[in-house]
Amino acid sequence: MRCSLAIILLFFLTQGTVGDVYKFEDAEGRTLLTNVPSNGKGMTLVKRFRFSYAKPHSGGRAPVLKVLKDRIRKYKPFIMQAARDTGLDTDLIHAVILAESAYDPKAVSPKGAMGLMQLMPGTAKRFNVSDAFDPAQNIRGGTQYLQFLMKRFGNDLELVTAAYNAGEGAVEKYGRSIPPYKETRLYVKKVKDFMQQGMVAFN
C-alpha cells in the first residue's frame, strides 16, 4: 500500500527499525513515498533509501510522532533565530537536535551532556550558556559551537559533525578526518541522512 511520510516516520520512530523507503514521481510530477518496491504504471523511481531511528544519542526511547512534532513546533522559533544569527542551515540544526536528544530539553547523557543539543559542561561555559536546560540558551550555544566548527574545518559537514560528536581535538588528531570511532562514524551518517532525506522538520 502507499503510505504517507508521516505514517512511515511514525512506524520507524516508534519501532526503532530499519526499512526501505521508495520515493516516486507520478506522471504529473507529484512526489510520493511508499514502502512498496513497485508502485505500478506511470511511476518513476526517484530514490530508494534506508531510514532508521531507534533512540537519541542521549539515550532513552524515541518519542512518538505526535510528541516529536509538538516539540519541534515549540522549539522551531529558537532554531530559526539561531540559524539567522549563525548563518547555519536550519536542516543541520534540526538534524543535530534530532540525533542528540530528539528535542528533549531535559535530556542528560551518561557522559553528562545536557539539553537539546547535548552540550558538555565545558562547551556550555565556552559559549556563555549559564543554563544548558534552557532551550533558547542551549540552541544558541550549540549553534555557536557548530558555527565555530564550520569555520575551523572549512565548512566540511562531515568533519563538523564528527567534531561535534567526538571533539575537534579528535578530528585534528586523525589528520583532520573522521576519527575511527564507530559511534562517531554512525553519528556523522545519521546527521547526514536526516538532512538529505528531508525527515527532520515534520511541520
Catalytic residues: 100
For residue 150, give the nearest of 163, 167, 139 by alpha carbon. 163
SS3 content of the chain, % helix, strand, coil (to 5): 50, 10, 40
**Stretch (H or E) spanning 47:** strand 44-52
For residue 20, give the nearest of 185, 28, 39 by alpha carbon. 39
Cα–Cα–Cα angle for 2, 6, 8, rounded to 5 degrees:
55
DSSP alpha helix (H) spans, 51-200: 65-86, 90-100, 121-126, 135-152, 157-166, 168-173, 182-196
